[in-house]
Amino acid sequence: MARRAQPLGLATGIAAAGLVLCVAFGTLGAVALRAEGMARLGPADWAALRFTLFQALLSAGLSVALAVPLARALARRQFPGRAALVTLLGAPFILPVIVAVLGLLAVFGRNGLVSTVLGWAGLPPVHIYGLHGVVLAHLFFNLPLATRLLLQGWLAIPAEHFRLGASLGFSARDTAQLLERPMLRAAMPGAFLVIFLICTTSFAVALTLGGGPRATTVELAIYQAFRFDFDLGKAALLAMLQFAIGGVAAALALRFTVPAAAGAGMGHPQRIWGAGSGALRAQDAAVILLATLFLITPLATVLLRGAPNLLTLPVPILIATLRSLAVALCSAALTLSLALPLSALINALPRRQSRLVEALAYLSIAASPLVVGTGLFILLFPVTDPVALALPVTALVNAVMALPFALRAIAPAHARAEADFGRLADSLSLTGFARLRLLILPRLRRPLGFAAGLSAALSMGDLGVVALFADQSHATLPLQLYRLMAGYRMDQAAAAGLLLLICSLALFWVFDRGGRLDADA
Amino acid sequence: MNTPFIAAGLMLLTGVATAQERPQLTVMTYDSFVSDWGPGPAIEEAFEANCNCDLTFIAAGDGAALLARLRLEGVRTKADVVLGLDTNLTAAASETGLFALHGREDEGFDLPVIWDDPMFLPYDWGYFAFVHDKTTLPEPPASFAELAASDLKIVIQDPRSSTPGLGLLLWVEAAHGPGAAGIWAGLADNLLTVTKGWSEAYGLFLEGEADMVLSYTTSPAYHLIAEDDDSKAAAAFAEGHYLQIEVAGIIASSNQPALADAFLDFMLSNDFQAIIPTNNWMYPARTPEGGLPAGFETLITPEIALLYPAHEAVAARDRALDTWLDALSR
């Protein structure tokens, strides 16, 4: 159905895919080529692999399962502060690891809120360190992301369908069965895959909350190979293993994905009918309240901890903030200019090939940041000064890392726009940039805004490859935050963490809001 | 009629030429050294005041990341001096063949051990120690055995990703040898968690998550001097404390050998050494003329200094890591 004239030439899409491949796999190849001799995996590496898989499956499964009631509640309820809540949902995901971990521990740690309350009741403190701690932290990071991804799915069901359902006297169960379940069937595997891939590259979170070397992940094994043994072959092999896990997961997830089968709508704002019973209201309220408490409390501790020193942050922090904002904006622009042609390519290719492209784009999440950074360094060092390119390279890598989320949001909406209005556009001979401007972009405002916001915010908070390249004059805000901590300045670091959170959220809000303006009209 | 432009162009060219005439010295070091809150900026200013040169720092993670970066760059490295390796890394660093001999005799170091490495010169040092809060823990354990017998919670760093984390492994290995496995088995229930790096661990400790954190005997000096807070202290352990000696070396292929050599002289001079205590929070390799800053006299001074010689450190490291993983993965 989609093999017709596309607004963006396929060549652009193929070029974008090539760039993504270069960053994700070319860097791995560069590291492997620099290696001397063949590497072998030992028992400790297999143990790391087992732990990585297990915690990632558990984390992703729980995140997606819990996101279903939350996304549904948010989709069918209107309440004051809903928009703010949806924006705040983006926050945990974009926080630098260390800030988020300290926030989580301020709530669930030995000296945290929960333990303090338990202490009043004469109970021992909670012991957060262990597999349950790892999963809890991954839930904190990824439940909001899963919710956002599923919420996109809900909002993509045309309002007419709900109205038709209501006029046919659908019960909540009928709505779930006939409208929501097909959408979830289409959206859940992708959301699961994305979160599974994120969790496979987890390292600092898994280690800190895992409570010891039993919580060794593949990424930590890569660290060990690189800095402990300087065994580049092994680092590359482990990174390949990480891709293999991701590849299998992607193949499975995309196999289970069926395209959404809902027909065309007029793009009216949504109102879900037939969900008005008291029990359902109470259920939704409880779900939203619990999730909000779980997600907002650690953020509130970040706010309280950072606020006292926020206004007295030293000048280098402010300069780094401007630098980070610039990188974030470039990264967002790059993400969109990669995601649009890729999404066009995915929609234009026959299904089998399009899935391959999609899977490859997803796999960039499974790329080891250390291997990507090292590979880029190996590639750039002979030709130029990698330090001088630290910021552009960081923006590029961040853009590629954000691409899967962007595609997740853009590609389905893109396909729908083509499916719903493509024939009309064809009959009007609407091609090239006119088609992009008049048909695609207006239909994609919401996912484009979301993707740009997410990319900018992710880039803002990501330490990324800049840590491998940067010198004094290229430090970004996350790097400065770590430097404050390394210099014992934990209070200022907390304030820098808060500043980072504010900037990330503001970026996300501005773009996401921009994308949703039409929906509120 | 183009004269003004030509003149401007000529002036521009000469300006560029003057900038190029000033020789450039590149020092590769770890990230916290070049940070705005580390010794880097003050050291750059002090050196440039006399060298008629331009000192540039390039930074890479920590000591181990620094060595990995240097290995990646190989002979094409732009670095003239590498500063920030420690004695656990110098054997591997000298095997790269990238470093030149420093050609100095006894420099009168104030180190707890004798220094006779022909390739690397120390610029600061410190003892690893468990730091605690005196108000909540007035009587800390005085040995690993006492710590293991207590119900105190400690937070340490992973030896595979962190320098202090590796230091602790070598500390236990050097102090207890074959008994190291037993010590780790005893410490297993004291171990709150293991973090990726020093910052995370120290952050957790300051937030009250753990009773003690693996750091340096000099850490309390930061709180005392910079924050006027005397509540932090390091616990003295009867078996002695493991040393970290941080060193620098000259890259053999440097095109500024004289300047690099001058930098090593400067590194051992009063100007550099006086910056170290309150910026890198370590002991200077040579005590500066005015002595150590006020507050350093309150720190514990271990009677036994433990340190593997560079050529034994690699074997000890691999042995200690196996012991550690074995004891804590059960």
Cα distance from N-terminal residue to C-terminal residue, chain A: 32
The β-bridge partners of B234 are B131
CB-CB neighbors (< 8 A) of A223 in chain B: 160-161
Q: Which residue in B264, B233, B266 sits closest to B249, CA to CA?
A: B264
Q: What share of chain B is helix, strand, coil (3-state, %, to 5)?
A: 45, 20, 35
**CB-based contact A208 B195, cutoff 8 Å:** yes
Mean pLDDT of chain B: 90
Pick the CATH number of A48-94+130-293 from 3.90.1150.10, 3.40.50.720, 1.10.510.10, 1.10.3720.10: 1.10.3720.10
* CATH number given to B126-243+302-329: 3.40.190.10
pLDDT of residue A280: 82
**CB-based contact A210 B198, cutoff 8 Å:** no
* ipTM at complex level: 0.89
Identify whether the C-beta of residue A236 lies closer than 8 Å to the C-beta of residue A35. Answer: yes
Q: Are strands B54-59 and B24-29 parallel, antiparallel or unpaired?
A: parallel
Q: What is the pTM of this model?
A: 0.88
Q: Exposed, middle or buried, A174 (CB in 10 Å: 0-12/13-18/19+)? A: middle
Tokens of A445: 């405002």
* Residue in the block written with tokens 């060990």: A224
Q: Exposed, middle or buried, A44 (CB in 10 Å: 0-12/13-18/19+)? A: middle
Q: Which residue in B136, B147, B128 sits closest to B306, CA to CA?
A: B128
Residue B110: phi, psi to the nearest 5?
-100, 70
- In this structure, the number of other CB atoms found within 10 A of the CB of residue A249 comes to 25
Cα distance from N-terminal residue to C-terminal residue, chain B: 85
Q: What is the DSSP string of A45-56?
A: HHHHHHHHHHHH
* Residue in the block written with tokens 């190989």: B74
**CB-based contact A490 B324, cutoff 8 Å:** no
* Residue in the block written with tokens 């064809």: A426
Quote the CA–CA distance of B321 and B181 in Å, as a whole number. Answer: 10
Q: Are strands B24-29 and B81-86 parallel, antiparallel or unpaired?
A: parallel
Q: Which residue in A19, A60, A2, A9 sits closest to A338, CA to CA?
A: A19
Quote the CA–CA distance of B222 and B226 in Å, as a whole number. Answer: 5
* Residue in the block written with tokens 């094409």: B76
From the list B59, B68, B199, the residue facing A227 with the nearest CB is B68
**Secondary structure letter of residue A130 according to DSSP:** S
Q: At B156, is the pLDDT very low, low, confident or very high (cuts 50, 70, 90)? A: very high
CA nearest A490 in B: which residue?
A: B203
From the list A98, A226, A470, the residue facing B200 with the nearest CB is A98
Residue A360: its H or E element: helix A351-363
Tokens of B99: 């470093």
Quote the CA–CA distance of A296 and A501 in Å, as a whole number. Answer: 13
Residues B234, B239, B241, CA angle at the centre, nearest 5°? 45
A vs B, Cβ pairs < 8 A, gives: 153
pLDDT of residue A416: 80
User: What ranges in A109-158 are assigned the alpha helix state H?
Assistant: 113-120, 131-156
Residue type, A165: G
**CB-based contact A483 B194, cutoff 8 Å:** no
CA nearest B188 in A: which residue?
A: A212
How far is the alpha carbon of B1 from chain A, nearest alpha carbon, in Å? 39
- In this structure, the number of other CB atoms found within 10 A of the CB of residue A18 comes to 11
Quote the CA–CA distance of A468 and A460 in Å, as a whole number. Answer: 17
Give the relative orientation of helices A97-108 and A113-120 as an angle to the nearest 10 degrees: 10
**CB-based contact A387 B325, cutoff 8 Å:** no
Q: Which residue in B329, B302, B310 sits closest to B126, CA to CA?
A: B302
Per-residue pLDDT of chain A (521 residues; tens, 9 = 90+): 444 445 456 788 888 888 888 888 888 888 888 887 777 888 888 888 999 999 999 999 999 999 999 998 988 888 888 888 887 877 787 787 888 888 999 999 888 899 889 989 888 888 889 999 999 999 999 999 899 888 878 877 777 787 888 888 887 778 777 878 888 888 888 888 889 988 988 888 888 898 888 888 998 899 888 888 888 888 899 998 888 888 888 888 777 765 544 445 555 455 555 556 788 888 889 999 999 999 989 999 999 999 999 998 999 999 999 999 999 999 999 999 999 888 888 888 887 788 788 878 778 888 888 888 888 888 888 888 888 888 888 899 889 888 888 887 788 788 888 888 888 888 888 777 777 778 778 888 888 888 899 899 888 888 777 777 767 678 899 999 989 999 999 999 999 999 999 998 899 888 887 776 654 43
From the list A204, A213, A223, the residue facing B200 with the nearest CB is A204
Q: How many CA atoms within 13 Å lie on the side-chain side of B41? A: 8
Identify whether the C-beta of residue A512 lies closer than 8 Å to the C-beta of residue A446. Answer: no
Quote the CA–CA distance of A161 and A167 in Å, as a whole number. Answer: 10
CB-CB neighbors (< 8 A) of B325 in chain A: 44, 213
pLDDT > 60? residue B7:
no
The β-bridge partners of B250 are B81
CA nearest B317 in A: which residue?
A: A228
Q: Which residues contact A145 (CB under 8 A, 6 or more apart)?
A: A63, A90, A93, A191, A194, A195, A198, A405
**CB-based contact A211 B60, cutoff 8 Å:** no
Looking at CATH, the fold of the domain delimited by B22-125+244-297 is given as: D-Maltodextrin-Binding Protein; domain 2 (3.40.190)
Strand, coil or helix: B183? helix
CA nearest A226 in B: which residue?
A: B68
* CATH number given to A1-34+313-521: 1.10.3720.10
Q: At B107, is the pLDDT very low, low, confident or very high (cuts 50, 70, 90)? A: confident
Strand, coil or helix: B323? helix
How confident is the model over B303-323, as pLDDT tens digits?
A: 999 999 999 998 999 999 999
Q: Which residues contact A154 (CB under 8 A, 6 or more apart)?
A: A71, A72, A75, A180, A183, A270, A272
CA nearest B198 in A: which residue?
A: A486
User: What ranges in A77-217 are assigned the alpha helix state H?
Assistant: 82-88, 91-94, 97-108, 113-120, 131-156, 159-167, 172-175, 181-200, 204-210
Residue B266: its H or E element: helix B257-267
The β-bridge partners of B232 are B133
Tokens of A261: 């089968």
Strand, coil or helix: A319? helix
Residue B243: its H or E element: strand B241-250
The β-bridge partners of B283 are B125
Q: Which residue in B39, B28, B40, B121 sits closest to B69, CA to CA?
A: B28
Domain segments of chain A as ranges: 1-34+313-521, 48-94+130-293
Quote the CA–CA distance of A69 and A75 in Å, as a whole number. Answer: 10
Tokens of A16: 């974008």
Tokens of A415: 């396909």
Residue type, B12: L
Domain segments of chain B as ranges: 22-125+244-297, 126-243+302-329
Q: Which residue in B242, B216, B217 sits closest to B88, CA to CA?
A: B242
Q: Exposed, middle or buried, A278 (CB in 10 Å: 0-12/13-18/19+)? A: exposed
Topology alike, domains A1-34+313-521 and A48-94+130-293: yes
Per-residue CA distances from B19 to A258, B25, B46 (Å): 64, 13, 19
Give the relative orientation of helices A181-200 and A351-363 as an angle to the nearest 10 degrees: 40
Identify whether the C-beta of residue B194 lies closer than 8 Å to the C-beta of residue B329. Answer: no
pLDDT > 50? residue B245:
yes
Q: Which residues contact A310 (CB under 8 A, 6 or more apart)?
A: A495, A498, A499
Tokens of A69: 């009631």
**CB-based contact B203 A129, cutoff 8 Å:** no
From the list B34, B35, B158, the residue facing A207 with the nearest CB is B158
Identify whether the C-beta of residue B65 lies closer than 8 Å to the C-beta of residue B161. Answer: no
